[in-house]
Amino acid sequence: MTRRSVLIAPSILSADFARLAEEVARVEAGGADLLHIDVMDGHFVPNLTVGPSIVEALRKVTKLPFDVHLMMTNPDSFIKEFAEAGADYLTVHVETCPHLHRTVQAIKEGGVKAGVTLNPATSLSSVEEIVPDADLLLVMSVNPGFGGQHFIASVLEKISRARQLIDRTGSRAALEVDGGVKVENAARIIQAGADILVSGSAIFSSSDYGATIKAMRHAVRKAMPGAGAAAARR
Protein backbone atom coordinates (compact mmCIF):
# COMPACT_ATOMS: atom_id res chain seq x y z
CA MET A 1 0.00 0.00 0.00
CA THR A 2 1.33 3.45 -0.93
CA ARG A 3 1.62 5.68 2.11
CA ARG A 4 -0.38 8.91 2.06
CA SER A 5 1.02 12.33 2.74
CA VAL A 6 0.95 13.12 6.44
CA LEU A 7 -1.70 15.66 7.40
CA ILE A 8 -1.92 17.95 10.41
CA ALA A 9 -5.30 18.59 12.03
CA PRO A 10 -5.41 21.29 14.74
CA SER A 11 -8.01 20.48 17.40
CA ILE A 12 -10.18 23.45 18.35
CA LEU A 13 -10.70 21.97 21.81
CA SER A 14 -7.64 24.00 22.82
CA ALA A 15 -8.57 27.15 20.89
CA ASP A 16 -9.83 30.40 22.40
CA PHE A 17 -13.59 30.04 21.94
CA ALA A 18 -14.12 33.79 22.44
CA ARG A 19 -12.19 34.27 19.17
CA LEU A 20 -12.96 30.98 17.45
CA ALA A 21 -13.32 32.29 13.88
CA GLU A 22 -10.01 34.13 14.22
CA GLU A 23 -8.33 31.05 15.69
CA VAL A 24 -9.51 28.92 12.78
CA ALA A 25 -8.31 31.53 10.29
CA ARG A 26 -4.87 31.50 11.92
CA VAL A 27 -4.39 27.74 11.67
CA GLU A 28 -5.72 27.74 8.12
CA ALA A 29 -3.23 30.44 7.17
CA GLY A 30 -0.57 28.51 9.07
CA GLY A 31 -0.91 25.47 6.83
CA ALA A 32 -3.37 23.16 8.59
CA ASP A 33 -4.81 20.37 6.43
CA LEU A 34 -7.96 19.60 8.45
CA LEU A 35 -9.82 21.06 11.39
CA HIS A 36 -10.48 18.57 14.20
CA ILE A 37 -13.71 19.27 16.10
CA ASP A 38 -14.34 17.34 19.31
CA VAL A 39 -18.02 16.92 20.18
CA MET A 40 -18.33 15.90 23.84
CA ASP A 41 -21.65 15.13 25.51
CA GLY A 42 -20.72 15.16 29.20
CA HIS A 43 -21.85 11.55 29.35
CA PHE A 44 -19.46 9.36 27.40
CA VAL A 45 -16.67 11.77 28.36
CA PRO A 46 -16.59 14.17 31.34
CA ASN A 47 -16.83 17.38 29.37
CA LEU A 48 -19.19 19.40 27.19
CA THR A 49 -18.13 21.15 24.01
CA VAL A 50 -19.91 22.05 20.77
CA GLY A 51 -22.96 21.07 18.76
CA PRO A 52 -24.05 21.20 15.11
CA SER A 53 -24.68 24.97 15.24
CA ILE A 54 -20.99 25.68 15.93
CA VAL A 55 -19.94 23.39 13.09
CA GLU A 56 -22.38 25.18 10.79
CA ALA A 57 -21.06 28.59 11.85
CA LEU A 58 -17.43 27.56 11.29
CA ARG A 59 -18.29 26.15 7.88
CA LYS A 60 -18.96 29.73 6.76
CA VAL A 61 -15.51 31.02 7.71
CA THR A 62 -13.09 28.35 6.46
CA LYS A 63 -12.49 26.01 3.56
CA LEU A 64 -10.65 23.45 5.70
CA PRO A 65 -12.20 19.97 5.74
CA PHE A 66 -13.97 19.26 9.05
CA ASP A 67 -12.93 16.17 10.98
CA VAL A 68 -15.79 15.89 13.50
CA HIS A 69 -15.12 13.48 16.37
CA LEU A 70 -18.34 12.39 18.10
CA MET A 71 -17.49 11.53 21.72
CA MET A 72 -21.09 10.70 22.48
CA THR A 73 -23.19 7.86 23.85
CA ASN A 74 -25.76 8.27 21.06
CA PRO A 75 -23.94 9.41 17.91
CA ASP A 76 -26.54 7.82 15.61
CA SER A 77 -29.06 10.44 16.72
CA PHE A 78 -26.85 13.27 15.45
CA ILE A 79 -25.37 11.96 12.21
CA LYS A 80 -27.84 13.82 10.00
CA GLU A 81 -27.44 17.11 11.88
CA PHE A 82 -23.65 17.14 11.76
CA ALA A 83 -23.63 16.03 8.13
CA GLU A 84 -25.91 18.89 7.18
CA ALA A 85 -23.85 21.30 9.30
CA GLY A 86 -20.83 20.70 7.10
CA ALA A 87 -18.81 17.76 8.46
CA ASP A 88 -16.48 16.08 5.97
CA TYR A 89 -15.62 13.24 8.35
CA LEU A 90 -17.77 11.91 11.17
CA THR A 91 -15.92 9.64 13.58
CA VAL A 92 -17.70 7.49 16.18
CA HIS A 93 -16.39 5.43 19.09
CA VAL A 94 -16.55 1.66 18.93
CA GLU A 95 -17.31 1.76 22.67
CA THR A 96 -20.68 3.48 22.09
CA CYS A 97 -21.89 1.82 18.88
CA PRO A 98 -23.38 -1.65 19.35
CA HIS A 99 -24.26 -1.79 15.63
CA LEU A 100 -21.09 -0.23 14.25
CA HIS A 101 -21.51 -1.37 10.66
CA ARG A 102 -24.98 0.18 10.55
CA THR A 103 -23.62 3.44 11.99
CA VAL A 104 -20.78 3.59 9.46
CA GLN A 105 -23.21 3.00 6.60
CA ALA A 106 -25.55 5.71 7.92
CA ILE A 107 -22.67 8.20 7.94
CA LYS A 108 -21.78 7.33 4.36
CA GLU A 109 -25.39 7.57 3.26
CA GLY A 110 -25.32 11.13 4.60
CA GLY A 111 -22.57 11.96 2.11
CA VAL A 112 -19.84 12.08 4.75
CA LYS A 113 -16.68 10.01 5.21
CA ALA A 114 -16.95 7.57 8.10
CA GLY A 115 -14.39 7.24 10.86
CA VAL A 116 -14.11 4.78 13.74
CA THR A 117 -12.13 5.41 16.91
CA LEU A 118 -11.10 3.50 19.99
CA ASN A 119 -9.84 4.54 23.41
CA PRO A 120 -6.33 3.65 24.65
CA ALA A 121 -7.52 0.61 26.64
CA THR A 122 -9.82 -0.71 23.89
CA SER A 123 -8.44 -3.62 21.90
CA LEU A 124 -7.67 -3.10 18.24
CA SER A 125 -9.50 -6.36 17.57
CA SER A 126 -12.78 -4.50 18.20
CA VAL A 127 -12.44 -2.67 14.87
CA GLU A 128 -10.93 -5.45 12.78
CA GLU A 129 -14.20 -6.27 11.03
CA ILE A 130 -15.11 -2.66 10.23
CA VAL A 131 -11.75 -1.30 9.02
CA PRO A 132 -12.38 -2.30 5.37
CA ASP A 133 -15.52 -0.13 5.41
CA ALA A 134 -14.03 2.87 7.22
CA ASP A 135 -12.49 5.98 5.69
CA LEU A 136 -10.65 6.83 8.90
CA LEU A 137 -9.32 4.89 11.87
CA LEU A 138 -8.60 7.09 14.89
CA VAL A 139 -6.38 5.76 17.67
CA MET A 140 -6.72 7.78 20.88
CA SER A 141 -3.38 8.33 22.62
CA VAL A 142 -5.01 9.89 25.70
CA ASN A 143 -8.25 9.10 27.49
CA PRO A 144 -10.72 11.48 25.84
CA GLY A 145 -12.43 14.36 27.58
CA PHE A 146 -9.84 17.07 28.06
CA GLY A 147 -7.09 18.78 26.09
CA GLY A 148 -3.50 19.17 27.22
CA GLN A 149 -2.99 15.58 28.36
CA HIS A 150 0.28 13.65 27.99
CA PHE A 151 0.70 11.14 25.19
CA ILE A 152 0.45 7.52 26.42
CA ALA A 153 3.71 6.04 25.14
CA SER A 154 2.42 2.45 25.08
CA VAL A 155 -0.04 3.45 22.34
CA LEU A 156 2.85 3.63 19.84
CA GLU A 157 2.83 -0.15 19.49
CA LYS A 158 -0.93 -0.06 18.98
CA ILE A 159 -0.50 2.50 16.19
CA SER A 160 1.96 0.14 14.50
CA ARG A 161 -0.52 -2.73 14.71
CA ALA A 162 -3.29 -0.47 13.40
CA ARG A 163 -1.11 0.36 10.40
CA GLN A 164 -0.56 -3.34 9.79
CA LEU A 165 -4.30 -4.01 10.06
CA ILE A 166 -5.16 -1.32 7.53
CA ASP A 167 -2.52 -2.51 5.08
CA ARG A 168 -3.35 -6.21 5.56
CA THR A 169 -7.05 -5.71 4.87
CA GLY A 170 -6.47 -3.44 1.88
CA SER A 171 -8.47 -0.70 3.57
CA ARG A 172 -8.23 2.86 2.27
CA ALA A 173 -8.74 4.23 5.78
CA ALA A 174 -6.39 6.97 6.92
CA LEU A 175 -4.78 6.32 10.30
CA GLU A 176 -5.23 9.25 12.67
CA VAL A 177 -3.73 9.75 16.14
CA ASP A 178 -5.19 12.15 18.70
CA GLY A 179 -3.92 13.06 22.15
CA GLY A 180 -0.72 14.64 23.41
CA VAL A 181 0.67 15.07 19.89
CA LYS A 182 3.40 17.71 19.71
CA VAL A 183 6.53 18.57 17.78
CA GLU A 184 8.71 16.48 20.07
CA ASN A 185 6.87 13.18 19.49
CA ALA A 186 5.54 13.70 15.95
CA ALA A 187 8.40 11.72 14.41
CA ARG A 188 7.77 8.63 16.54
CA ILE A 189 4.05 8.71 15.81
CA ILE A 190 4.65 8.98 12.07
CA GLN A 191 7.25 6.20 12.17
CA ALA A 192 4.66 4.01 13.89
CA GLY A 193 2.40 4.45 10.86
CA ALA A 194 0.07 7.45 11.35
CA ASP A 195 -1.26 9.47 8.42
CA ILE A 196 -2.97 12.29 10.35
CA LEU A 197 -1.71 14.07 13.46
CA VAL A 198 -4.34 15.76 15.62
CA SER A 199 -2.76 18.43 17.78
CA GLY A 200 -4.53 20.85 20.08
CA SER A 201 -2.63 22.49 22.92
CA ALA A 202 0.76 22.17 21.18
CA ILE A 203 -0.53 24.44 18.42
CA PHE A 204 -3.01 26.72 20.18
CA SER A 205 -0.80 27.39 23.20
CA SER A 206 2.06 28.50 20.96
CA SER A 207 2.62 32.11 19.99
CA ASP A 208 2.90 31.32 16.28
CA TYR A 209 0.51 28.62 15.01
CA GLY A 210 2.08 28.54 11.57
CA ALA A 211 5.58 28.09 12.99
CA THR A 212 4.42 25.20 15.17
CA ILE A 213 2.70 23.49 12.24
CA LYS A 214 5.85 24.03 10.17
CA ALA A 215 7.96 22.51 12.95
CA MET A 216 5.73 19.43 12.95
CA ARG A 217 6.18 19.13 9.21
CA HIS A 218 9.93 19.33 9.70
CA ALA A 219 9.71 16.52 12.25
CA VAL A 220 7.69 14.52 9.71
CA ARG A 221 10.32 15.09 7.02
CA LYS A 222 12.99 13.74 9.34
CA ALA A 223 10.88 10.70 10.18
CA MET A 224 9.64 9.88 6.68
CA PRO A 225 11.34 11.89 3.95
CA GLY A 226 8.87 10.88 1.25
CA ALA A 227 5.70 11.55 3.21
CA GLY A 228 7.12 14.65 4.83
CA ALA A 229 8.15 16.25 1.56
CA ALA A 230 4.69 15.66 0.12
CA ALA A 231 3.06 17.15 3.20
CA ALA A 232 5.39 20.14 3.14
CA ARG A 233 4.25 21.01 -0.37
CA ARG A 234 0.68 21.48 0.82
Active-site amino acid positions: 38, 178
**In contact, 56 and 85? CB cutoff 8 Å:** yes
Q: Determine the 3-state secondary structure of 166 from DSSP.
A: helix
Say if residue 46 is exposed, middle or buried (CB neighbours under 10 Å; 0-12, 13-18, 19+). exposed
CA-derived radius of gyration, the chain: 16
DSSP state letters, 107-151: HHHTT-EEEEEE-TTS-GGGGTTTGGG-SEEEEESS-TT-SSPPP
Which residue in 12, 127, 123, 104 sits closest to 62, CA to CA? 12
